[in-house]
Amino acid sequence: MATLADIGVSAAFNIISALAFLVAFAILRLQPFNDRVYFPKWYLKGLRSSPTHDGAVLSKFVNLDYRSYLKFLNWMPDALRMPEAELIDHAGLDSAVYLRIYLLGLKIFVPITLLAFAILVPVNWTNDTLKKSDLNYSEIDKLSISNIPPGSQRFWTHLVMAYAFTFWTCYILYKEYELIASMRFHFLASEHRRPDQFTVLVRNVPPDPDESVSELVEHFFLVNHPDHYLTHQVVYNANTLAKLVKKKKKMQNWFDYYQLKYSRNPSERPTTKTGFLGLWGAKVDAMDFYTAEIDKTSEEITAERKMVTNDPKAIMPAAFVSFKTRWGAAVCAQTQQSRNPTLWLTDWASEPRDVYWPNLAIPFVSLTIRRLIIGVAFFFLTFFFMIPITIVQSLANLEGIEKSAPFLRPLIEMHFIKGVIQGFLPGIALKLFLIFLPTILMLFSKIEGFTSLSALERRSASKYYIFQLVNVFLGSVIAGAAFQQLHSFIHQSANDIPKTIGVAIPMKATFFITYIMVDGWAGIAGEVLRLKPLIIFHLKNFFLVKTEKDREEAMDPGSIGFNTGEPQIQLYFLLGLVYAVVTPILLPFVLVFFGLAYVVFRHQIINVYNPEYESGAAFWPDVHGRVLVGLVISQLLLLGLLSTKEKAQTTPVLLVLPEAMMKDTLERAREPNLNLKGYLQNAYIHPVFKGEDDDESVEVIDEWEKESLVPTKRQSRRNTPLPSKYSGSSSPSLPEVVNEKAQGV
């Protein structure tokens, strides 16, 4: 059982670690040679230049201005200074709303903490129930509901506080959801035109013996959306081609490096070895070798591109369909397109940079099987992870283990060893066990077949949240209660076991306090230090960087990481809501996390992170729903706890049709000559077909445009009432086709 002294050791260790990280960051960020590590976002925007290009040699690496060190903590107020509207313009709505999750935590828990310490802590402290029992407990447990005797009238205080905390949380959630919805509508109404506003993704296009997928898509939408359909782009399985383009880019990088090396020393031609990483093999002229490799890869790319564009098997039964108006796209995205609900499935298209192209090549019919398999795999992953969780809990409850292994008692009873093991080791051990989990869960989501990066992150976040709920929270409570009250379990009747668990649940607050300090204090401070990106950048800069483009890629600004960050935040919401009534002493530790994390991540969003996509805060309903789930769990656990004491969803915010119609009307008035088809027709072509380095990519696009007039091969009139001579790249509305036929007659 961790005592106040053990918690003090853990607090001291983690506070010192957090301060060390913050001070190290404040100093390292001032050094010129670290500028690209701590301010990459400004470099990517072209608003910051490297300070290493000016001044003396030493000043290129070390900041010699002593005055800047006197203000080394200015990054904190600077992070809070940027207004929210400017932050949205600078980093996007996703980043601004993500920060509001931390603000939501502060809004909920600051009043709850003040009320709990003013009312519940004195009520719990002024009892001696635990002192008269034979249970293992610490001074912290005397501040919890466990110190209230069964049947006491004081439980009415906890019940009233539970209602008050619930109403306050629901009120804040309602106001915040209202605000986020308003921010989202304002963002969608004020942002610039984007291809995804006019485009839907159509999947499971039925096969047709008479027409290609492109022709079938064109005819279907000419018939069913004659006044709004504009153009479309079929989806190609270009995964192999993408690998070849990536390989050519790598070879080109090496060629540029050796060419630069030769230009600096023309008297000597650079050489390389043909083996792995140039470490062994025949020694050859480097520039000639990579020129030959680039030519060889270019030929492979040409052959693969022709195969992809000419082979019908490379065309997937899916397409990006664009419309003349946002209203037309909204109607199509939110309505069933066929009598068969499994065909012609439509959904909003992600913005082009959000599309996860490899998964578009997955046949739609296999998605259900893939998700079933991943669901089973996730279940077993969650189940078997209970083993390390149980081991961690055994470290947190050494008193119970001493009775089973008394020979360890002399070592365990050493004051410092005991304090480190119980106050620090459980939290860090659990943190280490969770290191590889996000990568595994993201792999699961990719196998499931989601077609956008945002969907992959949201799906991974859902799995991570469930995993944290089952293993980190429920697993720690159940396993901890079993270990902590091992002696009581063995020597009492089965009827008394629920009572023992009910008393033991509040006692797990000490374990979660240590975990919050390790993960939420030291961990967040370590995030701003960026130690791993710092080391990797300098290693790349020294060994691998060959060109200025390489140096930009070595910066690795990263992103928020919604798939890992949001579930972790939800764990703190859950802990705060569950223990607000049960053990209020945990609340200040949660508050420190929300406050510190808000400042740190605001700084990172302004200066470091480069978002991979912009979803318009589509993730907020998930955040809202999980907080409500935490609230329900807190109520159920409190209900179960009080029973041992003898006392007796949201929907995503959609782009509303009237809002879409208003934007279309304004756009037609402001830009009457807008060539919308030219803006949209190549927006959703696979990136390998429009690479900057390949001239053939332009030729392929031009070839598609030249082939815009293709006669239909359809004999059936099932979908199209008359033959069409139009393809997806230049398709008129159905009335125009009728008029042309009438004129021909």
Q: Provide DSSP, 215-274.
A: HHHHHHHHHHSTTTEEEEEEEE--HHHHHHHHHHHHHHHHHHHHHHHHHH-TTS--EEES
Cβ neighbors of 418 (< 8 A, separation 6 or more) are 6, 398, 412
**Adjacent-strand bridge partners of 342:** none
511 in the Ramachandran plot: left (φ > 0), alpha (ψ -120 to 50) or beta?
Answer: alpha
Helix axis angle for 155-190 and 93-115, nearest 10°, is 160
- Calculate the CA dihedral of residues 118, 121, 127, 132 and round it to 10 degrees: -170
Strand, coil or helix: what is 318?
strand
Q: Yes or no: say if 529 and 28 are a contact pair by the CB < 8 Å rule.
A: yes
Note the residue count of the chain: 745
32 touches 539 (CB < 8 A): no
Backbone angles phi, psi at 348, to 5 degrees: -60, 135
Amino acid, res. 375: G
Q: For residue range 485-540, what is the model confidence (pLDDT) as tens digits?
A: 555 555 555 555 545 555 556 767 887 888 888 888 888 988 898 888 888 888 87
- Single-letter amino acid code for the residue at 476: S
Q: What is the pLDDT of residue 722?
A: 42
Check if the beta carbon of residue 411 is closer than 8 Å to that of residue 328: no
The neighbouring-strand residues paired with 344 are none
CA distance 472 to 478: 10
Buried b (16+ CB within 10 A) or exposed e, 698-721: eebbeebeeeeebebebeeeebbe
Q: What is the pLDDT of residue 370?
A: 93
Cα separation, 138 vs 129, whole angstroms: 12
User: What one-letter code names the amino acid at 11?
Assistant: A
CA distance 456 to 309: 28
pLDDT in the model for residue 577: 93
Q: What is the pLDDT of residue 728?
A: 39
Residues in the chain with pLDDT values less than 70: 1-6, 50-60, 129-138, 191, 276-279, 389-429, 478-505, 507, 544, 546-548, 644-673, 679, 690-745
Classify the C-alpha dihedral 156-158-163-168 as positive or negative. positive
C-alpha torsion angle, residues 126, 129, 130, 132 (rounded to 10): 120
Tell me how far the alpha carbon of residue 701 is from its chain's centroid: 34
pLDDT attached to residue 59: 63
642-699 pLDDT, tens digit each:
776 655 432 333 334 445 555 666 666 666 667 777 767 777 777 777 655 444 444 4
**pLDDT value, residue 340:** 87
φ, ψ for residue 233, nearest 5 deg:
-140, 120
Give the pTM.
Answer: 0.79
Q: What is the pLDDT of residue 273?
A: 81
Within 13 Å and on the Cβ side, how many CA atoms surround 263?
7
Query: Residue 677 and residue 288: Cα distance in Å, rounded?
Result: 44
Question: What are the start-end ranges of the H helices in 64-154?
Answer: 66-70, 75-81, 84-91, 93-115, 121-125, 129-132
Q: How far apart are CA 695 and CA 305, in angstroms?
A: 12
Are the beta carbons of 701 and 683 closer than 8 angstroms?
A: no
CA 400, 406, 412, 414 dihedral sign is positive
